[in-house]
Structure 1
Amino acid sequence: MLGFSVYLSSPITEKVQARIERFAKSGFTGVFTSLNLPEDDPAVLLDRLAALGQQCQSLNLELTVDISTRAQKRTGLNLTQPEKIAELGVARLRMDEGISMKEIADLSQSIGIALNASTLSDEDVQTLQADQANFANIEAWHNYYPRKNTGLGEEWFQERNIWLHEHGIQVTAFVPGDRGLRGPVYAGLPSLESARYQHPLAAALDLQQLDVDQIDIGDQNLLQDTLAQFDAYFDHSVLLLHLLTNSTLPKYMQDGNLYLHQRPDVARDVVRLVEGRALNQETIEPANILPRKRGAVTLDNKLALRYQGELEIVKRDLPADPTVNVLGYIQANELDLLEHCGPGQAIQLVF
């Protein structure tokens, strides 16, 4: 389950609509926006929300809107009329400050609700139960944290997610984008502080390991290559990596696009690619005998004897080896993805 963000500080132009369509075509199913940003003009927010909601409906995207008591006053949006909110194309309301559990319980009968995953208490859950809230319509979403050093820590975060799951509540959290970072801070919009400068896909895969059900891109955009990596991984279970090289490649690699697989027995220091030796049909002379930095893609030469043709991606810095040629390097911003290469993982190398 993947979502992305579209903020209402600017009109929903054709350019914005094209971006939304790109995400939808790449397998994203949800959109997040907010009515709580103080810099936004309240006079235009509902018109822009309606335009966004209309496109979300046309693309079968679920629209979640962050709202608070203050936002209601600024926009005139009335929570006692959820049917009119739904007419704007809104599928879910993320509840921020000032909205009571009684109001939330009532709203949950007719519209999706996202509670604040970071602040929800046992008492809140008990109140919702007493007020006969419809828990089938209730999720919990963590905050994102624009300011550096204010994001959540992993241990507390996972404990909180396990607690929410024990109450039957699914969890959403945010990872930063890598293009079009939102101001005024421009430091990404992650839930976890450790994700702030990570590759967005690596940050998303970390969240999956910490008991998160849905992942949302907090910032407004991803680089086209990054969007392709999300599509490859979540739609096709393929880890797409970009190789930078000036070396002479073996013939089977020269089409610039190669599908390989990690061995089922995962090595500590390198990703061993099953197909390497089987694909090789030539004698490999020693060349580019260099220190093997993290992210290096290497090919064993003829001095490796029966290991000639062994193809690997280096996960930690290793010294030069006369039996190993360095072909090139995975892009620096993608190195975190190597930690998510498990047994049998399909890998697409693009040069």
Structure 2
Amino acid sequence: MKYLDDTTKAMLKKVAFDEKQEHSASFLATDWDVLDTHSAEDGLEILPIGTALDKYEWLRELFFTLIEKDKDTYVKEVASSDVLLGYFIRIKAGVKISLPVYTCYMINSDKFTQCTHNIIIAEENSELHLISGCTANAHIVSGRHLGVTEYFIEEGATVTSTMIHSWGKEVEVYPRSAAHVGKNAKFISNYVAMGSVKKLQMDPLAVIEEGGLGEFYSVIYATENSQFDIGSTVILNGDGASSEIISRVVSNGGEVTTRGKIVGKHPNGRGAMACNGLLLSKKGYIHAIPELLGQDPRLELSHEASVGMISKDELAYLMASGIEEEKAKSLIIEGFLDLKIPSLPDYLQRQINAIVKETKDFETM
């Protein structure tokens, strides 16, 4: 790996990318430069996307098959970019990797627009854990990150994808992702954003085939002048397909719209949504938009949503125990954002919790 200064290393650690952390493979890019790509495991391949396209002619046929090139202006910009930046990850059939793959994109030049396109393939009965960090370096005032990611998860495979964002007050971010989840396969998607961003908008799509499972979890802490529009769309496309969409949102002056949509097309499908929001300031808002569409009478779909303030009873209890008010509020927020993810390995759950605790000095206005 190329030399990284201490400031850059500190910013990368905020999104869980640490060169000293034990891992099975890694990828790191700043602006257009790929600084590191390597795999330490047999059966697990990771390459810069340009190298992968030169190596595998068939890969070109997968490009923009789950996300159409003309989906929106941001995807069009990625598709027409003069520079091809991204990674290709493939885990071979039957291979199960316990250590995570770490990837990271960093904006390192002010007013830079970074366009990326990633392809992840999990072959039959394989297992992969991916941790993706995205950030802007400390000196960055403004910039844009546009990302396209396509997941191909074959029969019986499991992919856990954890995306951790830490941007900046004037950075705009438009990730676009889609997953095809094969028969009896699993896709667990976790999203964590704990800092300022000018605007972030995304709505990942998952198409779940027979007996497959798609789970989406998000944890958002939105500071003043931040704007988040996040969601997940799941299509239960096979008999017995199931999904869960859960989000925890704290707005401390930020504007947050959280969406969820589950479409059930076949019998025995199950889907549930839950969005819980904690509003700390009148300067921001939380807008929860759950949507269910059932197209078969033998489906089971449900949703719930809530937005409220810090519990006065909880606050009084902690203060009665001798904890100062601001510290008590901070502990309540930290506990609220401590989202337990049933399908996540313990070490990944601990890593997400650590990221949340890094922002433990929450201002409560």
TM-score (norm 2): 0.27
Query: Of Structure 1 and Structure 2, which has the larger fraction of its residues in helix?
Result: 1
Q: Which has the larger radius of gyration?
A: 1
Higher relative contact order (CA 8 A, sep 6+): 1
TM-score (norm 1): 0.28
Query: Of Structure 1 and Structure 2, which has the larger fraction of its residues in strand?
Result: 2
